[in-house]
Structure 1
Amino acid sequence: MEPCFDIAHLAHVEMYTDQFDKSLDFFVNVYGLTLAGQDENSAYLRAFDDYEFHTLKLTRHHSTGVGHIAYRASSEAALMRRVAAIEASGYKVIGWVDGDLGHGRAFRFEDPFGHVFEIYWETVRYQPPEEERPALKNIAQRYHGRGCHPRRLDHLNLLASDVREFRRFMETCLGSRVTEMIQLDNGRIGGCWFTVNNKTYDLACTEEHGGGFARLHHVTYATDTREDILRAADLFLEHGVHIETGPHKHAIQGTFFLYVWEPAGNRVELANSGARLILAPDWEPVVWTETERKKGQAWGLKTIDTFHTHGTPPVAKKEH
């Protein structure tokens, strides 16, 4: 398949919360994002070196989970090429929507598992107020050092009952490439890691084990160093944040990681992926077997059960 670079990068994620004030306080004061803007229903948040206005849209909702996932196209022409491909794909089309505080009009569509995606070209570049202007003109905002102070949005992980079909959706609609994947003994794909550029991945999809629909596994921001993640663990401890697992190292993709639950229950991660990039234009996906995955992470603690079952929104318990 000819590589497609119509999509430039993962742009932002809309996260739902039913504890808006507590979630906002966490993301600003503990996690260390900056509040770029706010309207009646949403807060627009960013890491200090994200060039766009926002990378996390935190929205009041009756539950938790993901509202939509946004990618920025590489040009207006590329946007229209992708729109045509999506309209011809057979996947659900929602259509054009007006932009918000962070970008212009966007084209929305949906995967077979209920996750809403949008793509756009026109964006709002962050213009820092005087107190946030950096000393170095080649970064977007001053290094404030508040909370965990991640550098940029890195990736997210979605849950789907059929990862093979989700892979077809990503390749068809976004032109994504698979960099690594899990092949289960029963013939199913347990997980896929996707990229639209030279990053190792910007979106992962793993198999839904909880019986849910349109669920989020986690959203991740990148730090400069592993030491930033060790410091973050102490900060989370001091603020009473639930540390689910880590810090330790993933076997797949090799990221050093720490997972926590923000106050409403959405899982968020801090990760450091080092200098690993996918530069080969003819990269072949690295395939992990079920036996290899059962060995756990590269090193560190064993993967805990909630990592495979917890997602948002929570799945209602069935009455017996």
Structure 2
Amino acid sequence: MATMNFPDYIKRNVSLKPFNTFGMDVTALAYMEVKAVDDLVRVYGDARLMTLPRLVIGGGSNLLLTGCFEGLVMHMGIKGICLEKEDAEYIYLRAAAGEKWHDLVLWTLEKGFGGLENLSWIPGTVGAAPVQNIGAYGVEVQDRFFSLRAFDFESGEIVELGRSDCRFGYRDSIFKNAMKNRLVIVDVTFALPKNWHPNKGYAEVEKELERVGIADPSPAEVGRTIMQIRQRKLPNPAVLGNAGSFFKNPTVPAEKLFRLKSEYPEIPAYSQPDGRYRIAAGWLIDRCGWKGRRIGDAGVCEKQALVLVNYGNATGKDILALAEAIERDVFDRFSIRLEPEPVFV
């Protein structure tokens, strides 16, 4: 494999350090930037490249690289945002997979469109957003999603998927499971409501709006408020390597929550439509004494226990070992299993 002759649009032995927010300095055997669908078609038409393992990356903000990748890394760089259409209820906009997610949110707010403001200041790209079904402050991508187009590496064609096709779940979708190595998202269409109302369901957001004296906020004011909250709570990956929230908030049956509350009445929990409760993973980690701790250059953020950080020279395996130690402690104390959010490679 190492002696394979690659076409001239493929780079060999490329460091992936600039392409993952943890800052892991590992290499890819082969690398290409995808600037158009035709680039994916070229890979599909090259029998040699099709024998390689493939890894699609966007902003690398939900990725833990635990070693060098002996395959082809395809870095999504397709750009473009446009209004598709509108009807009586929605404005539909299409964004290419390589656009930065936060740039898309800012684009909508500059035009006065509401709907994505609660997802402000989330790192990563548009193409990665449906994969993870990113969410924050009471809104998930699936709530604003209309459709997407993806390149199918089995048929070599572009396919279109609607919301039900994507099988969205909590930080989950078909792209993390059945179609993980088959479909590559090239653009996403969102439906933004014309009859917009601010989502202030989180006390933290409502409190901040009250503090600055905004009773009836615009989409831009909600977005600005959430940006300020997130910047205050979360470390900047450009300064301190991290992938944002490392663990999902676990969901437990009501009876388990009631048992936990008998011992920990202050435990934060949020009711779900199915009668279960979602518990704040950061609180569980903090109660186990991990907040601010570090093992070598792998550590837990001092401000937010849900964020694992690379203090400089941690490897992906160092971060993974830290995560496993945290998972064991949380399970031993609360009998709750934490599930990581990032993709491990």
TM range (shorter): under 0.3
Q: Name the structure where helix makes up a greater proportion of residues.
A: 2
TM-score by length of 2: 0.24
Q: Name the structure where strand makes up a greater proportion of residues.
A: 1
TM-score by length of 1: 0.25
User: Greater relative contact order: 1 or 2 (C-alpha under 8 angstroms, separation 6 or more)?
Assistant: 1
Structure with larger Rg: 2
